[in-house]
Structure 1
Amino acid sequence: MESFRQARNNRRSELVEDYVELIADLLADGGEARQVDIAQRLGVAQPTVAKMLKRLIAEGYIQQRPYRGVFLTDAGKELALVSRERHQIVESFLCSIGVSVETARMDAEGIEHHVSPETLEAMKRFTLKKASWRTHVG
């Protein structure tokens, strides 16, 4: 029963994390994250984005300023950083076991939200150990 509860919680947080990561990327790329850009990148309607932005404001991850777009709060920046790091660990792990870079990038997008902290740490250790081994052998 606990595994089902965990999976449901992970699915709920997955959308939040994806939005926050995307907003961070848009801000880094162009200094601006507008509702229209978010909708276009995600392939969803603007009302869908508006609803999620209200949720992100309520949860303290973003601030929305009239005519200026969306900005991350400190909590939003932290969540984006943690999400990106998790993605990179999973992607590196998949590459280290022989998955192509392109496939690892796509698969990591789904896996990163559902992997436990224990498994994530094991992936990180494995990847670091393998990288260290290659350095010493090569």
Structure 2
Amino acid sequence: MKIQESAENYLEMILILGQKLGQVRSIDIAKELGFSKPSVSIAMKNLRENGYVELDDHGYLVLTEKGVAIATRVYEKHNLVTQLLRYIGVSEEIARIDACKIEHDLSTETVEKLKEFINKISN
């Protein structure tokens, strides 16, 4: 199932912040992305209604199984593209920014070939 790029970005951010902070609130996402709290709240409501995110007993955001699957896939693409861009000499900051733009449109075939290429150049 294809979801919107913005939803993928939110799911990826929940995954990243979860790894970094342990527990994630909407305000954490708003601060990290520079979005307003109401905008993030609306997005989280939509993600909950579509089964990608749940709230735990303390009000923290938790990715569901399908939320984790999407977030992990997008984050993997992000890391692969970032590595490739860094390899060709792009600065860390620009590589991360550009990877965020590119990651949503990569096919499965391209991702697999990127993995193979990065494994070759890493060895």
Tell whether the structures are fold-level matches, with TM greater than 0.5: yes
Moved more, 18-27 or 63-72: 63-72
Equivalent residue for 2:97, pick from 89, 96, 106: 106
| Aligned alpha-carbon RMSD (Å) | 1.9
| Aligned residue number for residue 3 of structure 1 | none
1:87-136: CA deviations, max 9, x gaps?
1111111122222333212211111112222222222222222223xxxx
Q: 1:57 to 1:122 in 2, by over 3 A?
A: same
> AA paired with 1:81?
T
User: Gaps spanning 5+ residues in structure 2: where?
Assistant: none
Per the normalisation by structure 1, the TM-score is 0.76
2:87 aligned with 1:89: no
Structure 1 residue 30 and structure 2 residue 21: aligned? yes
Correspondence for 2:59? 68
Classify the secondary structure of the residue corresponding to 1:33. coil
Q: Secondary structure at the match of 1:80?
A: helix
Quote the Cα distance in structure 2 between the aligned partners of 1:54 and 1:81: 21
Partner of 2:111: 120
How far, CA to CA, are the matches of 1:109 and 1:87 in structure 2?
Answer: 6
What amino acid does structure 2 have at the position aligned with 1:128? N
Compute the displacement of 1:26 (Å): 2.1
The structure having more radius of gyration, on CA atoms, is 1
Distance 2:9 2:104 in 1: 9
The answer for the alignment partner of 2:121 in structure 1 is: 130
User: What is the identity percentage for the equivalent residue pairs of Structure 1 and Structure 2?
Assistant: 38
TM-score normalized with structure 2 length: 0.84
In 1, the alpha carbon distance for the partners of 2:28 and 2:76 equals: 24
Matches within 5 A, 1:7-22: 13-22=4-13
User: Relative to 1, partners in 2 of residues 1:41 and 1:101: Cα closer, same or farther, differing over 3 Å?
Assistant: closer
What does the per-residue CA deviation read over 1:2-60, in whole Å, with 9 as the maximum and x for residues that have no partner?
xxxxxxx6xx5221111111112222222221122211212111221111111111221
The answer to which of 94-103 and 36-45 deviates more is: 94-103
3-state SS of paired residue (1:113): helix
Instruction: Identify the match of residue 38 of structure 2 among 44, 47, 53.
Output: 47
